[in-house]
Chains A and B, each alone.
Chain A
Amino acid sequence: MALSRVRTGIVALIFAVGLCQSFSVQATDLDTVNFSSVASATELEDMRARVARLAGEDAAVQQQALRALVEVGDVATLDRLEQVLENADRATRVAVKPIKTLLKNKLSLTSNDEAVRRAAASDLGASGQAVAVPWLEAAAAREPQYWVRYAMEESAALLSLVGEDPVARAAAARTLGELKSQNALPALKELAQQLSGGAGALNANNLVRSAVTTAIERIEVWSVWAGVFETLFRAVSLSSILLIMSLGLAIVFGLMGVINMAHGELMMVGAYATFMTQELFRAYLPPSIFDAYFLASLPIAFLVAGAFGLFLEATVIRFLYGHPLETMLATWGVSLVLIQLARVLFGDLTAVTAPAWLRGGAQMLAGVYLPYNRLFIIVLSIVCVVGIYTVLFCSNLGLRVRAVTQNRNMSACLGIPTRTVDAYTFAFGSGLAGLAGCALTLVGNVEPGLGQNYIVDSFMVVVTGGVGKLAGTIVAALGIGSLNKFLEPSFGAVYGKVLILGLVLLFLQLRPSGLFAVKGRHAD
């Protein structure tokens, strides 16, 4: 009978590889699992034999078994492997694990999910298993998405680079050079070192060597340019964050002259408004439109923070106009109250989940990603700047605001309700802070102390730019952001920051009124 044959086969095998201790368990296990299908039982036996050889000592035998296993690899093989491994000892499991991953990755190459295909390709490239080369090449040939194809080609070339055939190796090196693969640089460098060492006299090796050196050069030149591009993007991104944080302050502090120490807490209010919107969407609306919560939260954050600002102005700041020190102390107190209030109300269980369309990044060049959340903030800050200019220069309110800023008494004489204008201006500035808070949830976390992290930077930008000039704020944000990002790679985050503060201090010594000083007599 087939079953008894299977059993004797297994007994022989197991004895052969010295796994006798688990014999009885495996045999009975097989009885229970595979009574139904005899064919599958023979296959299982086959699999067992291969697995046993894999766990053996001899490297050549191992390699052969591995090749045999993965060549036929499909879903069924994986299943059977799992079955065989269920009762295997630890050594076998460790030996088979890389094959399991290899097979899984091979299957993932045909997945429908772009990210899965791509991850599988990079994993195969790092696995060092030359068997994967044909799979990768086949997958690359039918791959529609550019960067996934890139990953497949890169991995295939990486694997062929360590092969035997000098022509293939040289070709792989050339491909890697063409692909400008950052991932290949360490491997290429190592190879160059090996080749320039001992047995470099052979012609075949010379071919590889020249290909490798050109590839290294190409990649290195490329990486310099990619680095410049990345640094530029980072500079723009940080500048946009600084800008969006400071815009509200530029209005409240710059135009109105109110030193609002609670400005950071208005950002926090915006961030919590975003959190609340998210929670409401999660609780009351279908999950299919959940990702839209972030768009909804933008106006909500603006309005909530604006309303907060209106309330703050009416209850505290209104009575302290013209008393900067008192305003500072009072708003400082308000900020402490708000922080503790947020802690009491929300605790620490607050995380804003970025919507799916703002997660991950767009790959622009080899190794260069532009995260969507940062792109979004850049766009948002541009929209804000445009919005502010429109409000200030194209609207009735803007006209009044500018009038009050320039000469309060004269404006009052002309019938402008200065107090109302003050209230609206303050609310507008607060609303902008709320918007910033909403945007900041994309890069940071939502916690009561959120505003404290940003308030110093905001003041720095506004003061450096020149109080009372919006253009100054924009230029200062760009300047400080860029300087920070250009200094950070060589000085590190800590000293980069110290240096920035030092430079700003120095700059303010030379130009106490900032980049764009208000010229002429400042009537107040």
Chain B
Amino acid sequence: METEKKSYTTEEQLVYADWLDRGMKLGFVMLVVSFLLYVFGVMTPHVPVDELPNYWHLSAAEYAAATGAPHGWGWLAHALQGDYANFIGIAVLSLVTILCYLIILPILLRRKDTPFVVIAVLEVLVLVLAASGILAAGH
């Protein structure tokens, strides 16, 4: 039955799916746990939860100015605060695709699938650039 299932996919597709599954579950669990710690008050948040309704109608820039919220990867320095602890799970979910591409690269290389090796490498570079925080935007 397993052979029959795999006949509809390629090796790299199954490997990609497995790692995507692992990363998704890890990120999801981290997100749920950190959110529980956040709403339980186990980890002191940067902004108290009952004060949030006073700020969530502000723009991102106004919110940062009013609460001293960090930009870019600055949240890492606040990762032990309840609200920013959630960003660890968010980061895992947002990084898992890069990991999946890196994992299937050896398979593509072994098969000498040059076009898709190039595509995979370029995709990793694009995603790393986006995640780096080098690019700035805003009003």
Q: Are A and B interaction partners?
A: no
